[in-house]
Chains A and B, each alone.
Chain A
Amino acid sequence: AAGVIQSPRHLIKEKRETATLKCYPIPRHDTVYWYQQGPGQDPQFLISFYEKMQSDKGSIPDRFSAQQFSDYHSELNMSSLELGDSALYFCASSPLREDSTDTQYFGPGTRLTVL
């Protein structure tokens, strides 16, 4: 079965550089979530999209922005990178159901290292 695809899998950047992370949801999933997991931490919600519109926002720095495109893939853009941005970034997708939530399917993550 198709899974959530994230690219790149690993990324190394210098401080103050920019980075773009991509997420391709499972086919026919119209909702995308982004999470950040710092070293030794639990995943923290950043932002979500439904039908190409931002639907919820968590602890996402102003230096970060994201969008969902017409083919439902999503990109997380990170500027002015800081050492503290080094983390594992997960994307998850789910189908939207009117009567209940459904499981979120997680991608393998992108490991961002800021030097």
Chain B
Amino acid sequence: KQEVTQIPAALSVPEGENLVLNCSFTDSAIYNLQWFRQDPGKGLTSLLLIQSSQREQTSGRLNASLDKSSGRSTLYIAASQPGDSATYLCAVPSNSGGSNYKLTFGKGTLLTVNP
């Protein structure tokens, strides 16, 4: 059974700092890995999707890397801003024999960027 772990559970940084969020997964036979952002009580916003054949993916100040063999991914946020404050979740698809791939989520990292 796939398990996803995110470290740290919470992170507080001053504005402008670069930071790294970590995600690890137990079953390395994944097709891709997805990072989401969730504001309190709100929906999930997809940030980046890395296919298993890719090493990293970039979008603006965000850079996600994937090391499938070691079961790890990192989300790098450059020059953090107070608006980046949110919970960041990583998720990997897993298949239990059907034709679809349910997502297994980590418990998330609660990021607070202080002005």
Q: Is the CB of B106 within 8 A of A90?
A: no
Which of these binds chain B: A15-23, A41-49, A78-86? A41-49
CA distance A33 to B100 in the complex (A): 9
Number of interface residues of A (CB under 8 A): 27
A104 touches B41 (CB 8 A): no
Is there an interface contact between A106 and B100, defined as CB atoms closer than 8 Å? no
A45 to B101, CA, bound (A): 10
Interface residues of A, dominant DSSP: strand
Q: How far is the CB of B67 from chain A (nearest CB, A)?
A: 19
Question: Contact flags (1/0) for B78-115 with A, using CB distance below 8 Å?
Answer: 00000000000100010110111111111110000000
Q: With A42-B105, A42-B107, A100-B32 as given contacts, are A50 and B100 in contact (CB-CB < 8 Å)?
A: yes
When distances are taken between beta carbons in the complex, the residues of chain B under 8 Å from A101 are 31-32, 93, 101
Q: For the complex, is A109 an interface residue (Cβ under 8 Å from B)?
A: yes
Give the number of A-B contacts (CB < 8 Å): 66
B105 touches A56 (CB 8 A): no
Q: Does B43 contact A (CB under 8 A)?
A: yes
- Give the chain B neighbours of A107 by CB distance below 8 A: 43
25 contacts between A and B (CB under 8 A): A42-B89, A42-B105, A43-B105, A44-B105, A45-B103, A48-B100, A48-B102, A50-B98, A50-B100, A55-B98, A56-B100, A88-B41, A90-B44, A92-B103, A100-B31, A100-B32, A100-B51, A101-B32, A101-B101, A103-B32, A104-B103, A106-B36, A108-B43, A109-B44, A111-B41
Interface residues of B (CB under 8 A from A): 31-32, 34, 36, 41-46, 49, 51, 89, 93, 95-96, 98-108
> Which residues of A does B touch, CB under 8 Å?
31, 33, 35, 41-45, 48, 50, 55-56, 58, 88, 90, 92, 96, 100-101, 103-109, 111
